[in-house]
Amino acid sequence: MAIPAPLPGRSAAARTGAAPTRRRTETTYYLFLVPALALFTLAITLPAVMGIVLSFTDSVGFGEHEFIGLTNYVALFSDPAILASYGFTAGFALVTVIVVNVVAFGLAVGLTGRIRAKVAMRTIFVLPMVVSGIIIAYVFNFLFSNSLPRLASAVGFAPLEQSILANPDLAWVAVVVVTAWQAIPSAMLIYIAGILAIPGEVYEAASIDGASPGRQLRSITLPLVAGYVLINLVIGFKNFLNAYDIIVGLTNGGPGTATRSVAMTIFSGFTGGDYAYQMANATLFFLVALALALLQLRLTRGKVSV
């Protein structure tokens, strides 16, 4: 007599009538989880909660304080300095994310093509990503303040004979250039991963059909890496909103307050007696970043499959 096959989807315990056993969590997991969770709570979560609470007070960072409700938050929306910092930060992030993605995508296409020493060139282009932002800023500060004006004077190019870091209308350009220079490698690596994930047979079939390299780029590469483009745009914009170290090293928010970002404004308030006011600013900025993070999760879900 044939033995009936077990029903699909049923475990051995269910088939035999035995009670299912609960999987026991190893103690080792807790040994790693609990200390890390405690440190995260004490170093990040608890200070953040305390800061949010103090944003509803008139605290200067120490001593006694009184509850003043939403006064700090209402004042934020009528403060020209706060509005200017948000305006600069949003404009800077928008311009920089466009520059970074255009250049990074172009480099990724070139470094995945049939060129010599492309592996070595990938390594060279990735180097800016591993250098500290503040070091990069100080190096470019010297270049913009000394080398570039001397070169412009030698060739007779008057607009650059003076440091653009001292020009309120051009200082933001230097910040964009330096930030993009450091951010391009990470975006480029994402694009390279996306391009390499495209099956080679797709390009072979297109070549057989007579498609030119430009047509293959428009009709194959761009549509199939659209998910990676979206990821780079959202992540890049969110990261550039937090710009701080490069701006400090280049312009320190100047000339005047022309290049002062939201992060710089928040930190300056902590030492200038506006602790609670800037904590309200930091809370508002956190909500903006949280909204962008949620948008990123929604837009990038399942977008990297080819």
How far is residue 131's CA from residue 124's CA, in Å, rounded to a whole number?
12
CA distances (Å), 58 to each of 24, 104, 265, in order? 50, 46, 18
Lowest-confidence pick of 8-22, 85-99, 132-146, 181-195? 8-22
How far is residue 240's CA from residue 237's CA, in Å, rounded to a whole number?
5
Residue reference for tokens 């299912």: 20
In this model, does residue 157 exceed pLDDT 90? no
- What CATH architecture is 71-300? Orthogonal Bundle (1.10)
pLDDT in tens, 228-252: 998 899 889 989 999 999 999 999 9
Lowest-confidence pick of 46-50, 117-121, 276-280? 117-121
φ/ψ of 57, rounded to 5, equals -125, -175
pLDDT, the chain, mean: 85
pLDDT in tens, 201-225: 888 898 888 888 888 888 888 999 9
Predicted pLDDT at 177: 95
More confident residue, 281 or 304: 281
Query: Could you give the 3-state DSSP secondary structure of residue 43?
Result: helix
Q: Where are the domains of the chain?
A: 71-300
Q: How far apart are the first and last CA of the chain?
A: 49
φ/ψ of 67, rounded to 5, equals -75, 125
Predicted pLDDT at 100: 95
Predicted pLDDT at 5: 53
Predicted pLDDT at 306: 46
Predicted pLDDT at 139: 92
In this model, does residue 303 exceed pLDDT 80? no
